[in-house]
Amino acid sequence: MGAIRPMVNTVSSIDLIAAAYRRGVRVTLLVEGLSGFPLAEPLEKYAHVFELDEAPQLGTVDLVLVDQPTDKLVKSLPAGCPAICIIHKKDSVYSREVQDRCDQFLCMTDAALEYQSTRIPLGKLRMVHHGVDLERFKLSNEPKGKKNAQPKLLFYTRLNRQEATTWRILEQLLLCNVRLTMLGDGEAFWKISDKYGRDLTLINHIPCHSIHNFLHHFDIVASAGRGVFEALACGLPALCAGYEYGGLVLPNNIRRHMEVNITGYRMAADLVRMREDIDMAMSLSPETCRLMASEHGSVDTFLDRIGIGEKRPPIVA
């Protein structure tokens, strides 16, 4: 069973629930504000989805996962059932009622663990990295052609935070020899459109349950956090572009990137080296990229760590 508020990490929700379903786990999803939740229909393939106030009697529940819970939400949880809260934002604030009801709090990054350790009892905190669904994000079936002289690069980011950094990275990318597409929404979208709309392809939305199909149109991705793992799982090299520019993600530096959730925080690689990073990225094989995702960013590893079901062979249609 899962219980969430709408619009909270919906892309990770679909991967988590789909992977649990493949393990034979019966998932019921309760949403506080179902009308504002964009994935209700896609998730019905893997779970029973209900508005929190309209849920039927659930019977025996083995485990509850909660995402950004309110006091109202935790009060509705079955009594006596273990509850785990997933922390997506390091500075999330949890009421005393939420802290008392949840048995564990899962931190996705070292920074979140450090921050929350001053607010939540240490015995309740666990460090478990998030992951992507490797059955959804796959290597392309298309034969790999010769390398493009002008690689197709996707800059995949939110446009409502760290605006100064976004502009610096964007302007440096425009100096590189790439065919640039920018995907993201937020306050900066129309500013970027006005200034650089003729120099790139600008898109404000791709449904999160379609993004795995979209990624295969590119040779390289610049993103942060989960976006990097989505690219790697598809066999695409990735530049870390979040709070700061962190450079190319490689087998020998991915653990250091993961300490700050692949955001570039406190890493600040030299933007002038971006052209070299792109050249090096194009020499990485799809198998090398995929291996980084499978070893460090698989949702199945996440489920194993919290003890949900056993991994099964892929379901063949």
pLDDT tens series, the chain, 317 aa = 554 443 334 567 889 999 999 999 989 888 888 888 888 888 899 998 888 887 777 777 888 898 888 898 888 888 888 999 999 888 999 999 999 999 999 998 888 899 999 999 999 999 988 899 999 999 998 776 667 789 999 999 988 766 788 999 999 999 999 999 999 998 899 999 999 999 999 999 998 889 999 999 999 999 999 999 999 999 999 999 988 899 999 999 999 998 887 888 777 788 999 999 999 999 999 999 999 999 999 999 999 988 887 765 554 33
Question: Two tokens at 102?
Answer: 């949840």
**Cβ neighbours of 315 (radius 10 Å):** 8
Q: Which CATH architecture has domain 152-296?
A: 3-Layer(aba) Sandwich (3.40)
pLDDT the model gives residue 165: 87
Q: Are 239 and 141 in contact (CB under 8 A)?
A: no
DSSP string, the chain: -EEE-TTSSHHHHHHHHHHHHHTT--EEEEETTGGG-TTHHHHTTTEEEEEGGG-------S-EEEES--HHHHHTSPTT--EEEEE-STT----HHHHHH-SEEEESSHHHHHHHTTTS-GGGEEE----B-TTTS---SSPP-SPPSS-EEEEE--SSS-HHHHHHHHHHHTTSSSEEEEE--STTHHHHHHHHTTTSEEE----TTTHHHHHTT-SEEEE-THHHHHHHHTT--EEEESSSEEEE--TTTHHHHHTTTTS-TTT---GGGHHHHHHHHTTS-HHHHHHHHHHH-BHHHHHHHHT-S---PPPP-
Residues in Cβ contact with 297 at an 8 Å cutoff, skipping those fewer than 6 apart: 129, 130, 131, 132, 229, 232, 233
pLDDT the model gives residue 125: 96
Residues in Cβ contact with 33 at an 8 Å cutoff, skipping those fewer than 6 apart: 5, 6, 51, 52
Sorted by where each begins, the domain ranges of the chain are: 2-128, 152-296
Q: Do domains 2-128 and 152-296 have the same CATH topology?
A: yes
Question: Two tokens at 307?
Answer: 């003890």
2-128: CATH topology: Rossmann fold (3.40.50)
Question: Two tokens at 14?
Answer: 């679909």
pLDDT the model gives residue 161: 61
CA atoms of 300 and 245, how far apart (whole Å) = 29
CA atoms of 99 and 108, how far apart (whole Å) = 17
Residues in Cβ contact with 191 at an 8 Å cutoff, skipping those fewer than 6 apart: none
Question: Two tokens at 125?
Answer: 């905190």
pLDDT the model gives residue 6: 36
pLDDT the model gives residue 141: 84
**Side chain identity, residue 253:** N
pLDDT the model gives residue 243: 86
Question: Two tokens at 182?
Answer: 């920018």
